[in-house]
Structure 1
Amino acid sequence: MNNQDLSDVEGVQGFIGACLVDSESGMIINAVGGGALDMEVAGAANTDVVKAKLRAMRDLGLDDAIEDILITLGKQYHLIRPLASEPSVFIYLAIDRATANLALARVALRKADKTISG
């Protein structure tokens, strides 16, 4: 991992916060934003989401990789994207549902993945 910069996602409309997380330990590598949303807690908690999905894929015999995981809440979208070059590390992004463009947020996550994996 050459870069831990999350600036590609900071500019997403409706941005609340983002973090880069080691899914093996649940530890935050880098975080930006967050405000009332505690990025340390969010990163650690979403480690369980990633592990559960990987376990489900293994149990189902799916020979595939997670591109991203979308969690839709009443007021927010939470996106999780494991890095292509290092799947044990993921980007977590929280955006405001009322103002965000989900498609553009996913594009920003792909760009950040390439930048960080660089």
Structure 2
Amino acid sequence: MSNNEATNTEYALVDELAELIRATANVICDEQPDVPQPADLGDLDSFSTVQVVLELENVLEVKLLEALGEFRGDTFRDLAGFIVDTSVEADEIDGFTARVRRVAYASGSTTKTPVTAQNNGSA
């Protein structure tokens, strides 16, 4: 695969992962009283952010929490890019890509988090 193809694949993966992160954040906020839907990552409190990261770790079978000390960003896409870059650096991008796509499409919906759908058996 050429560098351009790899770059295009990674851009698409970042987009897919950003939507997965957004959907997961929305469901987590829905479960908490008086917590509004986040427009972006910066709208989450630290408790909700950690819940999102732990849920992503669980469903995507990756370790993220330890690496977050190096993360600088405010958007779901920033976080998705950071996670993809971390996977590339760890030489785990192929397996990670497959897991993201499996989870992202498990529910068949972009409005309901695939993570929750899988856990509830409603996918």
User: Of the two, which has the highest radius of gyration?
Assistant: 2
Q: Same fold (TM over 0.5)?
A: no
Higher helix share: 2
Using structure 1 for the length normalisation, give the TM-score. 0.29
Identify, as 1 or 2, the structure richer in strand.
1
